[in-house]
Amino acid sequence: MSNKSKYHFKFEDLNVYQKALDFGELVNDIVKGFPNHELYALSSQFRRAADSIALNIAEGYPGSDAQFVKHLNYAIYSSNECVSCSTKAVRRNYISFEQDEENRKRISELTKMMSSLRKKIIERMNT
C-alpha cells in the first residue's frame, strides 16, 4: 500500500499483522485462477481463512492479554485451515506444487511469529 493514512492504529506496527495482510492479498490473487464452480466453495473458504489471520490479530490487539492470546489462537487455527485449502488446491490441480510450497512457507512463517508473540504475552501474564 503506497498511501499512508494519517490515522494510525498500534496493531498496524506488528510485523506479523503486515505479513498476514500480504498473505491475504496473495491468496485473493491465487483464487482468481480457480474454476468458477469453486467460487462459493474452496475459493471463498481459502480467502476467508487467509483474511481471518490479520482480522483476528487486529481484533484481539486492543483487549486484555488473555483476549489477545485467544485471538492469536484463532489466527493460528485460520493458518492451519489455509494449509488444508492450499493442499486441496494443489490436489485439484488449481495451483502448482511450487505455489503450494510458497503458501506453506508463508503460513509456517506466520504461525511461528504468532506462536512466539503468544508465548511472550503468556510469559508477561504469568509474571
2 falls in which pLDDT band (50, 70, 90)?
Answer: low
DSSP string, 78-106: HHHHHHHHHHHHHHTTSS-HHHHHHHHHH
Q: Measured over all CA atoms, what is the biggest interatomic distance in the chain, rounded to whole angstroms?
A: 52
pLDDT tens digits for range 31-48:
999 999 999 999 999 999
Amino acid in the structure at residue 80? N
At 88, list the grid cell.
486441496
List the chain domain ranges. 12-125
Pick the CATH number of 12-125 from 1.20.1440.60, 2.120.10.30, 2.60.120.10, 2.70.150.10: 1.20.1440.60
Specify the pLDDT at position 4.
Answer: 83
Instruction: Return d(Cα 65, Cα 86) in angstroms, integer.
Output: 31
pLDDT tens digits for range 38-95:
999 999 999 999 999 999 999 999 889 999 999 999 999 999 999 999 999 999 999 9
- Is the separation of the CB atoms in 41 and 49 below 8 Å? no
117 falls in which pLDDT band (50, 70, 90)?
Answer: very high
pLDDT(100) > 60? yes
50: Cα within 13 Å, side-chain hemisphere: 27
